Chain A
Amino acid sequence: MTRLAHRLIALPLGFLSACAGNQNAMGGQGLESANFIVLFLVFLAVCAVMYLLVLAGLGIALRRRRDAGQANSVDEDRHEETSARTKVALIVWTGLVTVGLTILTVASFFSDRSNASSTRRSGLALTITGNQWWWNVQYDTSDPSASVRTANEIHLPVNVPVHVTLKSNDVIHSFWVPNLAGKQDLIPGRQTDIELLPRRTGVFHGQCAEFCGVQHTRMALDVIVEPLDDFRRWYAQQLATAPAPTTRLQMAGYRYFVTRECSSCHNVAGSPAGGQIGPDLTHVASRRSIGAGTLPLNRGNLYGWIADPQSHKPGSRMPTIPMEPRDLHSLVAYIETLK
């Protein structure tokens, strides 16, 4: 049904649908997103009928043949006359509109109920905390030592219901991964939540959807939905502390990291760097992007980002710190070990 729905909606949207990316409300890879497609189609159909009725009425009203004998001026006695047919039409139109809108209201209600009820049994819980302008991700477990902390990237097992608790450390943000579900705000002083049920594997993209300051634009995150085994492997790897640096260059980078500005904001588990202000970097090299989706993660971008984050993400909380080329070189070598 949903696949058919997807096709039907893709057709009128024409060739554009072919180039849609992985941040798409018509993706339908999660339960809520699939419900969205069905409901959107129902609304589109009812609304299209209403619109065509209005256009038809307007078109006929304008092109209707008039009595040729009638003068061009207003008829003083008859300008308020209304035919009986029009009165009937008013009643029919009111009935049609009311019935159409009632159908839509009821459909909306049931779709909402389906979203709210079918993911009640959560298999996985995580807490996402919004910060200007990045996402802190914490996998909640009853055993704190089994809890993984990461940033700007979420891995989810396919077909497992997920309960996400949403918080904010500063201003209001909004969590939105359109391929999986609708959005939910992160509000300071409150706790909100959202249920996700990914149905298909893939790499999806999410983005902050509430204006949250200068770099609202560059506050994205990657969501990787994978088979349960892959997820377990990833989780175990994330749970481990960072590997110790081995080469001389990596050692130099490590020393720079833990003794200079880096460690006052960033945490690398297993090292003395324990800053909590910025994203956790324990396994940063295993992620897909830098700077909350600003740049794809690769060696060149790491150099660029560390040397001058302010030119890539102006206003970012990460300052541009002047450093010697050899420090930069060693720092990148060290960070690349943080897999």
Chain B
Amino acid sequence: MSSALEKAKAPPADVPRDGPGLSGPVLEARLARTWGRPRGLIGWLSSVDHKDIGRRYIVTALTFLALAGALALIMRLQLAKPENDLVGAARYNEIFTMHGTTMMFLFAVPVMQGVQIYLTPLMIGTRAMAFPRLTAVSFYLYLAGGCLLWVAFILNIAPDIGWFAYPPLSGPQYGVGKRPDIWAQMVTFTEVASLAAAVTLIATILKQRAPGMSLARMPLYVWTTLVTSLMVVFSMPAVALASSLLLSDRLVGTHFYNPAEGGDALLWQHLFWFFGHPEVYIIFLPATGFVSEIVATFSRRSIVFYPVVVLSVVATGILAFGLWVHHMFATGLPRVGYSFYTAASISVSIPTALQIFCWIATLWEGRPRLQVPLLYVIGFIITFVIGGLTGVMIAAVPLDLQLHDTYFIVAHFHYVLIGGAVFPLLGAITYWFPKFTGRMMSEKIGKLGFWMLFLGFQLAFFPMHVAGIYGMPRRVYTYPAGMGLEWPNLLSSLGSLVVALAVLLFVLNMVRSALGGRRAAANPWDGSSLEWATQSPPADYNFAHIPVVESRAPLWGSRDHLPVVHGLRVDDRELLLTTVMDAVPDVREPSAQPSPWPFISSVAISVMFIGSILSPWALVVGAIPATIAMAAWFWPKGPPELEPTIS
């Protein structure tokens, strides 16, 4: 037994490893063979490469962004003039439900996780995610959830209960047909997907950082990834519980939300917002990570006060869990309790104010070059701060009681989510596009697109503040003339057309550049972090040799002589694990081979989830194929002594 353990710890010495004797093109060819994926459709479905999965995540999420954006345009056309009858009441309710649900569950969170899955291993200098097959399952389940919702929309059985699905409106008595069930099960899909992605990211970041990349040297983007993934782990179970209770109310006649039988309609709101508020920061914090990376590169200096930025991100992540009641100020909870949530909600702006200071100070101390990614960051600061300040306003109970559920709130959160997350995201796509595709995006079209988006956005969303103050509630399909709402709504509708054109221009720029853009070198922007140390786009194995990190900006400190470690197998997938705090090399760990079983398991799980909309027995019957598929996935591949060991 002990000899078997010894053997596992120290595999035979005759296997080929990278090193001075094996490097250059010979090494690269052998690594490409080891880390490549099989050809054909099966190979495509078997891929466990984080770059493949991340890319699929991003493309799918952007597709959902386009679909939900098209719905937004329809809503703006309907609201362009009072008493318009372009869209009827019932259809309008479906459309705004689809818009909100798609944007929150199928675009914003997944696109951030997709970029995280793509970039994290590259930024920390490793070759794969910690659980590559789980990452693949995460994408397939997310895709299945999105398809469920949109196929339902095409079949005219889409949810019409708002993206927040408050019972009793979504309950068995008032939520007719299968519409709310489809919503709740879509939530199940996306929450399983994002939990899977989050645990994978956490394990990857904590155990697979390049030697020397202690927590204090981690890129800021990786810090935001770590914090948001932990937030996903703590917040998603709340909505998982909420939607499961709702489904069981609807499907098997429990009464969790039914006041007539001792249930409580407000229980839903607590559970939902305990997830829903952190979710906003799950979307926003990765965007601050983009901003930190872009500001550093384009100021040509490191971010000022790195510890302040890190602590701000961590503090935001913690405070985000103490604010949910500010979504419920009008529900009649005790007033003294409200003042605590007011104080907490206002105080969450302090860490963000510190981050904004650090970015501006970095620009101040550095030598900024105004290229498209930095333009998006500037647009982000100008826009997001307005959203943050209106957020401070609605944290105050007396202000919120007037502004809550009006277009003022619609303006507020679009400033926060578009200004605070989409602007940085578009900057990030422009910034990392050469890494994703090996080609640069057009600077000229990029600048035009930025200005159209920035100005169109202000035109579309600023008037909504006025509409809200003039008494326009959210989620109304029309409004009467004479309330002062004609001009604000018309301007918003015009602005939304400009935004749509700008987004179209961005997409055209992406497609055009991906096909025929200027070829990119490994480090076209002179960035400082490890993803720029490998070619664009990276090879399947990411790095020929695992880099060693000696500072926070490894590529700036040791420009042409990035130190590396040797000794990982080249004939089999092997990763280097390091210690959690200081990233001292710890163990060598085999990494999973491509396999079609994650895909097959996802199909089985999807059938089970979708079937359970129709009958609770689907969970019992559907568990059988899912179990078989996962048994095949986890089937031991070799003698136990060759399985990985933790030492």
Please list the residues of chain A having a beta carbon within 8 angstroms of any beta carbon in chain B: 13, 16-17, 19-26, 32-33, 35-36, 39-40, 43-44, 47, 50-51, 54-55, 57-58, 60-62, 64, 66, 70, 72-76, 78-83, 86, 89-90, 93-94, 97-98, 101, 104-105, 107-109, 111-112, 115-116, 132, 166, 170-172, 174, 176, 178, 181-185, 187-190, 192-193, 205, 207-217, 314-315
Contact = CB atoms under 8 A, between A and B. Distances in A.
B541 to A, nearest CB: 28
Given A26-B469, A101-B347, A172-B265, A314 B166 contact: no
Contacts of B488: 16
Given A24-B471, A216-B476, A62 B556 contact: no
B402 A187 contact: no
Nearest to B347: A101
A157 to B, nearest CB: 23
B346 A101 contact: yes
Interface in B539-567: 552-553, 556-557, 559
B169 interface: yes
A132 B176 CA distance: 14
B623 to A, nearest CB: 34
A41 to B, nearest CB: 11
Interface string B344-366: 00110110011011101101110
Contact of B405 (A19, A32, A79, A210): A210
Given A205-B471, A217-B476, A184 B330 contact: yes
B265 A188 contact: yes
A314 B265 CA distance: 27
A196 to B, nearest CB: 12
A93 B361 CA distance: 11
B339 A112 contact: yes
B381 interface: yes
A158 to B, nearest CB: 21
Identify whether the interface residues of B are mostly helix, strand, loop, or mixed: helix
B304 A79 contact: no
A98 to B, nearest CB: 6
Contacts, number: 281
A74 B402 contact: no
17 contacts: A13-B466, A36-B398, A47-B390, A74-B526, A76-B559, A79-B300, A90-B354, A107-B396, A112-B338, A112-B397, A182-B404, A185-B332, A188-B260, A209-B330, A209-B405, A210-B166, A315-B90
A90 B308 CA distance: 10
B478 interface: yes
Contacts of A79: 300-302, 528, 553, 556
Contact of B259 (A24, A98, A189): A189
A209 B406 contact: yes
A76 B169 CA distance: 61
A232 to B, nearest CB: 30
Interface residues of B, number: 96
Given A108-B396, A182-B402, A215-B89, A57 B364 contact: yes
Nearest to A64: B364
Interface of B: 88-90, 93, 160-162, 166, 168-169, 173-174, 259-260, 263-266, 300-302, 304-305, 308, 330-332, 335, 338-339, 342-343, 346-347, 349-350, 353-354, 356-358, 360-361, 363-365, 367-368, 370, 378, 381-382, 385-386, 389-390, 392-393, 395-406, 466, 468-471, 473-479, 482-488, 526, 528, 552-553, 556-557, 559
Contacts of B401: 32, 36, 181-184
B556 A86 contact: no
A47 B405 CA distance: 21
A152 to B, nearest CB: 15
Task: Kindly list the 10 A-B residue pairs having the minimum CB-CB distance in the complex, ordered from nearest.
Answer: A189-B259, A182-B401, A23-B471, A108-B396, A192-B332, A21-B483, A20-B484, A61-B364, A47-B389, A61-B363
B372 to A, nearest CB: 15
A32 B398 contact: yes
A76 B557 contact: yes
Given A32-B398, A47-B393, A80 B356 contact: no
Contacts of B300: 72-75, 79
A62 B368 contact: yes
A281 to B, nearest CB: 23
Contact of B473 (A51, A60, A176): A176
Given A54-B385, A108-B342, A89 B470 contact: no
A47 B300 CA distance: 31
Nearest to B304: A82
B381 A105 contact: no
Contacts of A55: 382
